[in-house]
Chains A and B, each alone.
Chain A
């Protein structure tokens, strides 16, 4: 049995997860995002769970220290002492909680009651994986399973009556040998690609982009938890479109006009070149403030969507971020073309940061 503290630890993790869940709406609307740590773990900003006590107010108190310096020199930011021993001290504890992608996605899924995504095309892609999970009677010595081997030998000796409890020597024979062996499993590949398109013309301000950034983070998180492999592509556009990396995507601001069709054309090309829809689950997302240059261009957009993008994709998502300058016309046009409830098109209006969570639910709630 493990030490009882592991149970305390599990309990602590559970409480933490509950806290994160309770605060999810706050995190998301404030744009506080878990920080990826590279190994599939995320650092989550965490409200402290210190037990409330009568204690002294922190900042007014000051303190005493040791070292060089004149009056007025700062004492912050010198870190902790190099070494020290554990004591009964009770300092302020900053909680720095680590969560795996799966755990975070599970919290998001729970909170928003998201259905599992049913990947399409999974029958088409499969691969075999070998895992050493079973036991065989033949194999190389390097894979010998000693415990099982001796168990077999013991069983045999007891059955034959040659086992002497007073002198418990167990000698395996050739027939007792057991080896770890591989099980071959068929795994279905399910890969997905998310193509983010965003209007970066002058009317999309920093706040709008912040909303898109937060929203895309959580969408990515969820999709990553649902698919084995996931690729993410970014397209920005004003009157022309180009593919960029993530950094550029969120930081570019152009001043030109807006031709949404340029982005859709590029999106279509990317899909045609790189992603066979029989093998890939394709998620095009488009974010804009709803302004387009002309009705003519909008009609072109609808044509590309209907003929090229939607048939290839799991679902096409359009998020309209409200801004002071945007007319919101594109949303109306899309609604007119596809209706409020369309199988493969999801439209969402994001008024402000508080609406992000609801919008994520709209996009992912269909389980597509």
Chain B
């Protein structure tokens, strides 16, 4: 059943027109395939992370339920979806007005350029459409073989440590996340049990010989893995699980790494796409009769929000700010060291480096470095940013500070490790009994206690021995452990 169809008629010629502008401005991208579809289909695709098929899991159904409801009640609308693949697929909502489609197409070309050129996307598998479909097929087969409940429960468990991956893996030379094995066909249960046993003791088969020679293989292993952040990979390789379970961790890990670049470049990516839709539309594509409608949609997307920063807005404004600064020469040693306020204000060296600068930034930066390097005091004030804090006395969140340094630190902290706590492996032989010890690298914010306990329980299901994590709770170093029966908390002994 075809739920989407290619562009025809005036939309097709609109696409050609926008494509022309985008190319003229110097954007480069893989071919962009626009498809048009109804709202239900957009919801389905969005719930599936943009892909037409995923592995079966109730969580996609939940997303779908919520997106659909959001539309019915009118507090949410998805205009488009764009998928980071080659060719790049983009889905347009059939009910969009003509001017909306214009905006959305220009926006999509912005994303497509970013996907292709940003360094953090360089290791992305651009054939992800097929990969996702294959994962679906594989997991469905596992479900037929081992039972839907069993496989689904295992997936639920794995999703619990889906965020324990290492961002730096993305830029390692020859990075690939494809750990696909031929589907394992088990006929003899005993041999499988033996295999699992071997995995549990000494890791991957090819390492067997090497490790056996060492006197204490587990201590040796500890040296190798300590400080590692790709915990999904670690569990896939070393946990005493069955082959199909390891395979599922591998599949989900590959998907997690696929989505990771988008999570660490949210501000830049949306900012870049918004910058270009605004530029293309206001300079080229808009007819005068469309200005109001365009302004209405654009301002909706750029709306400020007191509870969260809007990545679209911060992104586009920061790109514009950089372009302006590099066009007028407001950068570098001379400018920064100038103490004459009026001279600084009227600084105009006519350097005209703006365009070059923003293109080079979109090539190498991610959100953290983007904010760290280009977020200035002037910009912060112009954006009316603030930090807020929960006030236990009034029971609500209240504006805390408008101090530049505080805000910048808060922003960077929120972006660090894509907004997730940094968790490292400390030991796979904790207490000398094969327990797993993780370390939360505490950077000022405590872990959610309830969630931590539940996550430890899930990790135990995979590791099959005790799992502990060192962290800080209200300033006190603690070790939280789950030994298969109960959660216990001890203050860390130094």
Q: Which B positions have Cβ atoms within 8 angstroms of A? A: 1, 3, 41, 44, 46-49, 53, 56-62, 64-67, 69, 75-81, 136, 152, 156, 159-164, 259, 262-263, 266, 270, 297, 300-301, 303-314, 383-390, 394, 396-402, 407, 410-411, 414, 420-421, 423, 440, 445-455, 457-458, 469
Contact = CB atoms under 8 A, between A and B. Distances in A.
A164 B352 CA distance: 74
A75 interface: yes
A179 B308 CA distance: 59
Contacts of B398: 71-75
B312 A64 contact: no
B47 A5 contact: yes
A11 B153 CA distance: 13
A81 interface: yes
B58 A11 contact: yes
Interface stretch (A21-29, A85-93, A347-355): A85-93
A362 to B, nearest CB: 35
Nearest to A83: B300
Interface in A1-36: 1, 3-13, 15
B28 to A, nearest CB: 23
B40 to A, nearest CB: 9
Interface residue range, chain A: 35 or more
A53 B301 contact: no
Nearest to A77: B396
8 contacts: A51-B59, A54-B421, A64-B308, A64-B385, A71-B400, A74-B394, A76-B307, A83-B297
Contacts of A134: none
A58 interface: yes
A58 to B, nearest CB: 6
A1 B1 contact: yes
Given A8-B64, A52-B160, A57 B455 contact: no
A108 to B, nearest CB: 22
Interface of A: 1, 3-13, 15, 49-76, 78, 80-89, 93, 95-96, 98
A66 B61 contact: no
Contact of B62 (A12, A53, A81, A86): A12
Contacts of A12: 58-59, 61-62, 65
Given A56-B448, A73-B398, A86-B81, A67 B306 contact: yes
B455 A60 contact: no
B385 A55 contact: no
Contacts of B79: 85
A74 B388 CA distance: 9
Given A54-B451, A88-B49, A64 B309 contact: yes
Contacts of A6: 61
B60 A8 contact: yes
A76 B384 CA distance: 17
B388 A62 contact: yes
A71 B399 CA distance: 5
A89 B266 contact: yes
A166 B133 CA distance: 39
B414 A71 contact: no
A67 B384 CA distance: 5
A58 B58 CA distance: 25
B266 A81 contact: no
Contact of B306 (A59, A78, A95): A78
- 3 closest Cβ contacts across the A-B interface? A52-B454, A8-B61, A12-B61
Contacts of A74: 394, 396-399
